[in-house]
Amino acid sequence: MTSNLKTYDLTVNFLGYWFIGTGSEVGAYSDQLTQRDEKGFPYVPGKSLKGVFREAFRTAANSGWFDKFNRNGLESAEFANQLIQTIFGHDGTKDGFSDDELHAEGLIHFSSAVLPQSLKDRIDKEQQEFLFTTVQSTKINSDRGVAEEKSLRTVEVAVPMHLHAEVTLDPPYEKTGDTGLDLSAEELKEIAGIFAAVSSLVTEIGGKRRRGFGRCLWEMKEV
């Protein structure tokens, strides 16, 4: 494979605070920190982007968006699973190496979503801290209606912003074996033509989503 079948520019527009956890804490400042790159800027790892896009793709597949490619007459659920395995890969590999590792990785790849470099260049170290804030929460005792002792938690979150990532789709492998569907390059191009619509199904990403964090809009444009 010498070139990608398709390349997209993905814009992740965060509508409110968002949180990608690190599992680290910094004393009294915060019980949980959000991820930063080596320069201290917030970002979303590519594996997180791929995960939420995969779930959106599953919703679309289960809703019949790709049924025209089910040329073998598989049951809807089985076809959706095989299509997802082909494009997104699967967990683990079989014995040995070669093709199985490629199938595990899948055909679609996401870079991390980051701030544009031109914007980073204009933000100095002191200004960088305005990209983050902290949010506090506490557990309320349902019987007494008051905060429970020692339940106060502080989480560092990133403020609303637009991040960009690159999405690439590789040509199909010559053999997919039992790891997915045998799709031609033309069929894969047709499926990729629906990616922009699939991306509109993504409405949130990251941690603390039950508390309203990570609400976002995705915009995917072919390069």
Q: What is the pTM of this model?
A: 0.83
Rounded to the nearest 5 degrees, what angle is found at the Cα of 209, between the Cα atoms of 208 and 215? 125
Instruction: Tell me which amino acid residue 122 is.
Output: R
The order of strands in the sheet holding 6-14 is: 108-110, 162-169, 6-14, 216-222
Neighbours of 42 (CB within 10 A): 24
Would you give per-residue pLDDT tens digits along the chain (223 residues)?
456 899 999 999 999 999 998 755 555 445 678 889 999 999 999 999 999 999 999 999 999 999 999 988 889 889 999 999 999 987 654 444 344 444 567 899 999 999 999 999 999 999 999 999 988 766 665 666 555 665 567 888 999 999 999 999 998 866 544 456 888 899 999 999 999 999 999 999 998 887 889 999 999 999 9
Which residue ranges make up each domain of the chain? 6-222
